[in-house]
Amino acid sequence: MTVDNEEHTPDPGGTASDDDVATDGGTKASRLDEEGDVAADYLEELLDIADIDGDIDIEVRSGRTYISIVSEDRSDAGLSSLVGRDGEVLEALQELTRLSVLTATDSRSRLVLDVDGYRDRRGRELAKIAQDAVDTVKETGEDVALEPMSAYERKIVHDVVADLGLLSESEGEGAARHIVVSPSDD
Amino acid sequence: MLAEALEHLVRGIVDNPDDVRVAAKNNRRGETLEVRVHQEDLGRVIGRQGRTARALRTVVAALADGEPVRVDVVDTDRRRG
């Protein structure tokens, strides 16, 4: 029986009795599970202290951990305060949550936090913004500069613009970093 | 509640959680929360270009529900510098 180069997912009920060699980095799946657990604990206790009602869902999808804080009561004001204007509070909370994972596990986290379905709604808005910019560029043949966005949001817009066959680049630094959509070369 | 929330947020991101202290002070302009951490954790709590301290302020402000609240990260070792 060999334990080298196995690619199975860890068996929680199994007899994991091997020495340090077997834990080198762990499997990616177990690392993401641990990441989700650490993040959920961090957020759960915050909700508790702040007396905000919300359930925490953890999902691991294409190598990333997605954490959602959701509420059954759709008009929950507490949750929307955790989104903030333009998702500002959500981004801050995501950053702190990633740091909590780094502290607990010593590995950097790329987890994505969502609150109250904000990212889905915003994703649809961004797709519309990208579509409108593409339409304008096609009509006028000129570049269109969009409002500054976070790296996460720029990625969404870049993907939509690329799907529609035009070019996009990020320009500016820091909080001013924004996308410029331009006609394709051909 | 704000001090407790801030303490929790900070404790989760430092290597020495037991050394985290948050003191709430009230003055005319509102509440100030003073955060003290282990000297080795100071960089972690402030972050590159103050990014982490800013994130802490943003979340605390959101929980404060419109009340003005300051968050100061206190460098207790500054006198030596």
pLDDT grade for A4, boundaries at 50, 70 and 90: very low
Whole-number Cα distances in Å, A100 to A50, A135, B45, B58: 18, 42, 11, 17
In a domain, B29, yes or no: yes
Is there a contact between A81 and B63 if contact means CB atoms under 8 Å apart?
yes
Grouping H, G, I as helix, E, B as strand and the rest as coil, residue A171 is strand
In a domain, B10, yes or no: yes
Is there a contact between B58 and A88 if contact means CB atoms under 8 Å apart?
yes
User: Tokens 């990260």 sit at which residue?
Assistant: B73
Contact status of A49 with chain B (Cβ, < 8 Å): yes
Is there a contact between A99 and B8 if contact means CB atoms under 8 Å apart?
no
Angle between helices B51-63 and B2-11 (to 10 degrees): 150
pLDDT grade for A1, boundaries at 50, 70 and 90: very low
CATH label of the domain that carries residue B33 = 3.30.300.20
Beta-carbon contacts of residue A159 (< 8 Å; ≥ 6 apart)? none
In a domain, B79, yes or no: no
Beta carbons of B18 and B29 less than 8 angstroms apart = no
Is there a contact between A84 and B58 if contact means CB atoms under 8 Å apart?
yes
Residues of A with CB below 8 A from B65's CB? Answer: 81
Name the nearest CA neighbour of A105 among A46, A30, A43, A44.
A30
Residues of A with CB below 8 A from B55's CB? Answer: 91-93, 95-96
pLDDT grade for A18, boundaries at 50, 70 and 90: very low
Q: pLDDT for A55-111, tens place per residue? A: 999 999 888 999 999 987 766 678 889 999 889 999 999 999 999 999 999 999 999
Q: Please tell me the predicted confidence (pLDDT) of residue A152.
A: 83
pLDDT grade for A8, boundaries at 50, 70 and 90: very low
In a domain, B7, yes or no: yes
CA atoms of A22 and A136, how far apart (whole Å): 56
Burial of A170 (0-12, 13-18, 19+ CB in 10 A): middle
Residue B79 pLDDT more than 80? no
In a domain, B43, yes or no: yes
pLDDT grade for A33, boundaries at 50, 70 and 90: confident
Contact status of A82 with chain B (Cβ, < 8 Å): yes
CA atoms of B60 and B63, how far apart (whole Å): 5
Q: Please tell me the predicted confidence (pLDDT) of residue A26.
A: 56
In a domain, B81, yes or no: no
- And the tokens for A141? 């043949």
Host H or E run for residue B10: helix B2-11
Residue A16 pLDDT more than 90? no
CA atoms of A93 and A54, how far apart (whole Å): 15
As a whole-number percent, the residues of chain A with pLDDT over 90 amount to: 67
Q: pLDDT for B16-40, tens place per residue? A: 999 999 999 988 878 999 999 999 9
Give, as one character, the DSSP assignment of residue A180: E
User: Tokens 């957020």 sit at which residue?
Assistant: A43
Is there a contact between A96 and B62 if contact means CB atoms under 8 Å apart?
no
Beta-carbon contacts of residue A106 (< 8 Å; ≥ 6 apart)? none
As a whole-number percent, the residues of chain A with pLDDT over 70 amount to: 83
Residues of B with CB below 8 A from A100's CB? Answer: 12-13
Which amino acid makes up residue A115?
Answer: V
Is there a contact between A88 and B54 if contact means CB atoms under 8 Å apart?
no
CA atoms of A12 and A35, how far apart (whole Å): 16
pLDDT grade for A15, boundaries at 50, 70 and 90: very low
Which amino acid makes up residue A138?
Answer: K
Q: Please, which residues bridge with residue A148 across strands? A: A178
pTM of the entire predicted model: 0.79
Q: Please tell me the predicted confidence (pLDDT) of residue A86.
A: 84
Contact status of B18 with chain A (Cβ, < 8 Å): no
Dihedral (Cα; A86, A92, A94, A96), 10-degree rounding:
180
A66–chain B nearest CA distance, Å: 19
Is there a contact between A49 and B5 if contact means CB atoms under 8 Å apart?
yes
Range in A8-12, A30-34, A83-87 with the lowest mean pLDDT: A8-12
Q: Which among A84, A89, A103 has the least Cβ separation from residue B12?
A: A103
Q: How many structural domains is chain B composed of?
A: 1
Range of B56's domain?
1-74
pLDDT grade for A5, boundaries at 50, 70 and 90: very low
Strand bridging mode B69-73 / B30-36: parallel
User: Tokens 């509102």 sit at which residue?
Assistant: B30
- Residue in B with minimal Cα distance to A45: B8
